Structure 1
Amino acid sequence: MLNEKDIISTLMMVREQNLDLRTVTVGINLTDCVSHDLETFKRKIYDKITRYAGQLVASCNRIERRYGIEVANKRISISPIGVVGAPFSSEQLVEVAVTLDKAAHELGVDFIGGFTALVEKGMSKGDQALIEAIPQALTETQRICSSVNVASTRAGINMDAILKMGKIIKQAAELTADDDGLAAAKLVVFANIPQDVPFMAGAYLGIGEADAVVSVGVSGPGVVKAALEKALAEDENMDLSRAADVIKQTAARLTRAGELVGREVAQLLNLPFGIVDLSLAPTPNRNDSVGEIFEAIGLPAFGAPGSTAFLSMLNDAVKKGGAFASSHVGGLSGAFIPVCEDLTIAESAANGTLSLEKLEAMTAVCSVGLDMVAIPGDTSAEMISAIIADEMAIGVINKKTTAARLIPAPGKKAGDIVRFGGLLGEGPVMAVNMGSHENRFVRLGGRIPAPIQSLVN
């Protein structure tokens, strides 16, 4: 039960520290919509999505008024289209994407995720068609997000898929050159993708999930920053053990607030509640930045020596706080470090404090990986694939989720600025070591075998 101190603390989070519920995401299973006839399939998925999520926006608005906590984004995740749309060609799957986008637009939701393929061990005909459809699908739509899982600890790393994804990312960026490669910003490549993550661009509804489910993604980097600053002001001799405890307690309060709202929305929609994803997801706004937490703890800048150590502590404390507060924590639940979506991280990248190599090292202990990273437009597809392969290896060996959301900005070089707007933000183009060179390693293809850690039965 919440006491008076908890209530006052939560009110301060909302009013002064940029607490919002980053997303309420309705996951919808589309496996019962499968058909070999394209028009039938499109009609079925449109009808089911609009039926289950038709009151999502209205329900979130009602809960906002009741509790005063903003629901920043209303989103939908669906079964992986690479599976349920397997009978169709890449051209037909672009039509499916347009249908999904139409449903999202009419419902007033911000994004719909699940234009997804799971190819960590091999690519089926449907998976190949979906992957080939991604550039055009993300160009012709506004709200579609796409993800491709190319590696897992149990299966290893599918280098054939990674080589293909390097080319797909280049194509997606080039088709939206006038928008700094925006389509690539809606595409993410994963290792060990969760089936229940509500955050975009990686959200999809796993095959083992319910027919429909409501999950929430809490944020709150500004809340964590404020809590640390307050604790330091009260005790200038505070050590890191105490700092970890402050983060853990703050994460627990965030989780409780998020689950309360999520369960209320689920009840209004008459759907089961899924999970709380307690990820510190920043925005491009001041006082809502993960990077500012690093400065609050005493680091000179995000990316300075000591950043990896603190990020590991931050990620662990967030997970511990969430696990204490709820039995239904899932998704990623850690700290995101997206360059373009975080003002402070973008500033560190712009002034040279943060390099791509240091960022990659930090992804070994963060919640996702190389997220919203703009790179020079002349970076070769092979080199993009090689960057992805390195990131996937970190996830596979460490039995954690990692991802790469890389944006080769057409016509731009290191140091230039890309601007995407909204939550996608803006940031500098980061230099890629030997980015325009060929990389014969990735051309070898095949599959990097699963590590010995996979033999856990």
Structure 2
Amino acid sequence: MINIFEVNETNKMIEQENLDVRTITMGISLLDCIDSDLDIMNEKIYNKITTKAKDLVATGDKIAAEFGIPVVNKRVSVTPIALIGGVACHTTEDFVSIAKTLDRAAKTIGVNFIGGYSALVCKGMTPAEELLIRSIPQALAVTERVCSSVNVGSTKTGINMDAVKLMGEIVLATAEASKEQDSLGCAKLVVFCNAPDDNPFMAGAFHGVTEADCIINVGVSGPGVVKTALESVRGADFQTLCEMIKRTAFKVTRVGQLVAQEASRRLNVPFGIVDLSLAPTPAIGDSVAEILEEIGLERVGAPGTTAALALLNDQVKKGGVMAAQAVGGLSGAFIPVSEDQGMIDSVNLGALTLEKLEAMTCVCSVGLDMIAIPGDTKASTIAGIIADESAIGMINQKTTAVRVIPVIGKGVGETVEFGGLLGYAPIMPVNQFSCDAFVERGGRIPAPIHSFKN
């Protein structure tokens, strides 16, 4: 039974500690929209999205009003478009037409982002998948709400280094195509290893082919809640600290489970998963970095940072998994630089470097996220960064990703403003030594020995 103390406690989390449901994401399969005629397929895609998700935004708003729980974003993810457009698309422009259709559908239903302009190429690329990848810079430049992702590796298959090399070039081309907006297109592009099929968070969300025709996934948040809880056990031992994180994660996740169940019931769409991730925002007091500092670091980036993040991530999962019917997606703690004021402060103070962030990705939920780098960074260097992150994911059997933004015309020491949830970021220095010969080898890095489990 829920008692009045728990009600008051949850109200305090919402009103004072930035607790919210970060997103309700409806996953929609477009497999039944495949057609050899591009115009007919675009019409099918638009009609299916606008039919299935027509009440998504209104339902999220009603749940937020009735329960007093902020539901920040309502979003849609679709089947990877490289699979859907393979029959009808013969040029990059053909794929861009689908991106425009997705954008138009997103505007019609009122969601802020639609994910799934994606390709899964961890073992190889079909001609259609390569076409979609090459269309990404144009697609993201001419749309507002479309998000793109490419999965270049997995523990089971290894790393497709041909795709890694290509994605280094595509990230740079995407930055150039949106340079008038400080290369904002790259904020909507993620390169994955071990991408999950049920991730509700953008920009990496897509609707996996193993999923049902339509599904509801929810992403919770609450860094501010965890930080406030830890203030009450300041100076206590690790066992006490861990217990407090678990208990808090349980409460946060229960809120997400409640919203997920209500959205599923009202929309008559099956419930999928709750993503347990602690997702920060630029708001003061809504920072993963501040949690790590409350654990005992002077600044994020100090010795002990990776251990503190590992502890936090593990306890969030242990507490959250007990509070939800099913968990999935990314689940843990995000460390995006531009979206976390504490991370930004640590970068500006010189405490946090790109190399330390890479070390932290070994134990966090995702990877190098929302990091602004100099606009003159070479494509091969970006490919090397992607390869490093993919290797961490492949070897550790976890999801890793790269969302870096080479800001054309800006260099180290300057700042770029993205606005809204995307925040702002200092331009971080990148190692200038070359990895050209490594990237140029091509082919595939084989899967690790522990991938063989048959």
TM-score (norm 2): 0.98
Give the match for residue 54 of structure 1: 54
2:446 paired with 1:449 = yes
Give the structure 2 partner of residue 113 of structure 1: 115
**Deviations, residues 213-264 of structure 1 (Å, cap 9, x unaligned):** 01100010001001101232xxx4x111111111111111111110101110
| TM-fit CA distance, 1:322 | 1.2
The letter for the 2-side match of 1:453 is H
Could you give the per-residue CA deviations for residues 355-404 of structure 1, whole angstroms, max 9, x where no partner exists?
Answer: 10011000000000000011111110001000110010000000000000
1:138 corresponds in structure 2 to: 140
Q: Which amino acid aligns with 1:51?
A: T
Q: Do 2:149 and 2:192's aligned partners in 1 also have CA atoms closer than 8 Å? A: yes
Q: Map residues 43-122 of structure 1 onto 2, 5 A cutoff.
A: 43-87=43-87, 88=89, 89-122=91-124
1:387-426 Cα distance to aligned partner (Å, 9 max, x none): 1100100000000000000111101111210111111110
Are 1:247 and 2:245 an aligned pair?
yes
For 1:167, the equivalent position in structure 2 comes to 169
Structure 1 counterpart of 2:446, one-letter code: P
Matched with 2:263 is 265
1:352 to 321, 326, 350: 350
Match in the other structure for 2:36? 36
Distance 1:228 1:2 in 2: 23
SS of alignment partner, residue 322 of structure 2: helix
1:282-297 to structure 2, matched below 5 A, reads 282-297=280-295
CA distance in 2, matches of 1:387, 1:241: 36
The code of the aligned residue for 2:285 comes to: N
State the distance in 2 between where 1:319 and 1:428 align: 31
- More displaced stretch, 322-331 vs 337-346: 322-331
CA distance in 1, matches of 2:354, 2:321: 32
Check the 8 A contact 1:350/1:427 in 2, yes or no.
no
8 Å Cα contact 1:28/1:76 also seen in 2: yes
- Paired AA for residue 358 in structure 2: E
Paired residue type of 2:176: E
Structure 1 moving runs of 4+ over 4 Å: none
Distance in 2 of aligned mates of 1:191 and 1:274 = 22
Partner of 1:225: 227
CA distance in 2, matches of 1:313, 1:38: 50
Distance 2:79 2:435 in 1: 36
Cα distance, 1:438 vs. partner?
A: 5.8
Equivalent position of 1:8 in the other structure: 8
Residue 153 of structure 1 corresponds to 155
- State the secondary structure of the residue aligned to 1:148: strand
CA RMSD of aligned residues (A): 0.9
Unaligned runs of 5+ in 2: none
Does the CA contact (< 8 Å) of 2:257 and 2:323 recur in 1?
Answer: no
Query: Which one-letter code corresponds to 1:71 in the other structure?
Result: V
State the match for 1:376 in structure 2: 374
Deviation at 1:46, TM superposition (A): 0.4
Residue pair 1:315, 1:365 contacting (<8 A) in 2 also? yes
Q: Secondary structure at the match of 2:208?
A: coil
Distance 2:271 2:114 in 1: 19
SS in 2 for 1:150: strand
Q: Which amino acid aligns with 2:449?
A: I
Whether the 8 Å CA contact 2:287–2:342 is kept in 1: the answer is yes
Amino acid at match of 2:254: R
Question: Where does 1:176-255 land on structure 2 (aligned, <5 Å)?
Answer: 176-232=178-234, 236=235, 238-255=236-253
Q: Percent identity?
A: 56
Once residues 346 and 179 of structure 1 are traced to their aligned partners in structure 2, the CA distance between those partners, rounded to angstroms, is 20
Instruction: Give the aligned partner of residue 403 of structure 1.
Output: 401
Q: Distance in 2 between matches of 1:99 and 1:5?
A: 48
**Distance in 2 between the 1:3 and 1:433 partners?**
55
Q: Which amino acid aligns with 1:92?
A: D
Deviations 1:117-161 (A, max 9, x none): 000000011111110110000000010000000000000000000
Unaligned runs of 5+ in 1: none
Shift of 1:178: 1.6
CA–CA separation in structure 2 for the residues paired with 1:90 and 1:263: 40
State the distance in 2 between where 1:290 and 1:63 align.
27
CA deviations 1:38-58 (Å, max 9, x no partner) are 110010010000011000011
1:425 and 1:127 mapped to 2: Cα distance?
32
Counterpart of 1:366, as a letter, is C
Aligned pair count reads: 452
Counterpart in the other structure of 1:22: 22
Q: Secondary structure at the match of 1:345?
A: helix
Contact 2:155–2:393 (8 Å) recurs in 1: yes
CA distance in 1, matches of 2:227, 2:371: 24
Is residue 395 of structure 2 the alignment partner of residue 393 of structure 1?
Answer: no
Give me the whole-angstrom Cα distance separating, in 1, the residues matched to 2:396 and 2:365. 12
In 2, Cα distance between equivalents of 1:179 and 1:325: 41
